[in-house]
Amino acid sequence: GYDASPFVPARGGLKALREAAAGCRGCPLHREATQTVFGAGDSSARLLLVGEQPGDQEDRKGRPFVGPAGGVLDRALEEAGIDPGDTYVTNAVKHFKFTRTGPGKRRIHKAPDLREMRACRPWLAAEVRLVDPEVVVALGATAGKALLGPSFRVTRDRGVALPLPPLDGADGEDAGEGVLVATLHPSAVLRADDEQRAQAYAGLVADLRVVAGLLS
C-alpha cells in the first residue's frame, strides 16, 4: 500500500526530514503536484498547527498556508493573542491534490482520501516528535482524522483540550504529554455563506483562545 515510511530518515533533525520529504514517492500525489510542501516555522514552537494539504499557492511556493486560508489563520491567531511567528505549521498531507476542469484550466482542490492520509502520516509523526510542541491544533476534519483517527468529528470535538495520541506507534515515555485542540479549517470560513462567515470566524478565534489559555 501507499506509505511514506521508507522515505523518512531514521535520524537527523527537521532539515534532514524536509530534504528527504522533497523526494517522497509514498503515494501517487507527488506525480501531479509541483513539489512537496513540508512544514515551516519555529522548529522549537510550543504550538504546532496541522492543516489538510497544500492549496494551489502553497504548491507553487513550497510553503504551507501562504494563500488565502493562511491569511485567515494568521488573523485569527493574532486575534486570539498568539503570534503566528511563534508557531510551526504543517499539513496532514504534503502534496497538493486537485482536479482540472479542462486543459490549462484552474486547479480545484480535492480532499485527500484515507489511504493518502495514512501514507503521509509518518512525516507528520516525525515533525511532531522533533518540534515536540505543548499543544497541537488540528485545523478541520482531515487533520483531526490524521491525528485522532477516523471517528473524529469537528463539530463534536472542537474547542476542548484532548490528549494527543502517539502518532508513530511509540508508547511509554515517547508518547509524551501532548495536548490537542481541534477547530475549523480556515478555508471553511472562506467558503461560508455571507451570513455565516462572521460566526465561523468567531468560532475559529474562540477555539484558538482555548489554545492560548493552554500556553499561558
Residues lying near ligand URA in the complex (CB under 6 A) are found at 51-55, 58, 64-65, 67, 69, 91, 187
- Give CA–CA dist 181/120, Å, rounded: 21
Binding residues for ligand SF4, rule: CB under 6 A, are 4, 21, 24-27, 29-30, 36, 93-95, 116, 119-120, 123
Q: How many CA atoms lie within 13 A of 196 on its CB side?
A: 7
Q: Return the number of the residue (18 or 209) whose C-beta is nearest ligand SF4.
A: 18
- Find which of ligand SF4, ligand URA, none residue 55 binds, CB within 5 to 8 Å per kind: ligand URA
- Find which of ligand SF4, ligand URA, none residue 158 binds, CB within 5 to 8 Å per kind: none
- Find which of ligand SF4, ligand URA, none residue 24 binds, CB within 5 to 8 Å per kind: ligand SF4
Phi-psi region of 202 (alpha: psi -120 to 50; beta: other; left: phi over 0): alpha
Handedness of CA 175, 21, 41, 49 (dihedral sign): negative
* Residue 179: φ, ψ to 5°: -120, 145
Q: Return the number of the residue (25 or 106) whose C-beta is nearest ligand SF4.
A: 25
3-state helix, strand, coil in the chain (%, to 5): 45, 15, 40
The least CB distance from residue 102 to ligand SF4, in Å, is: 25
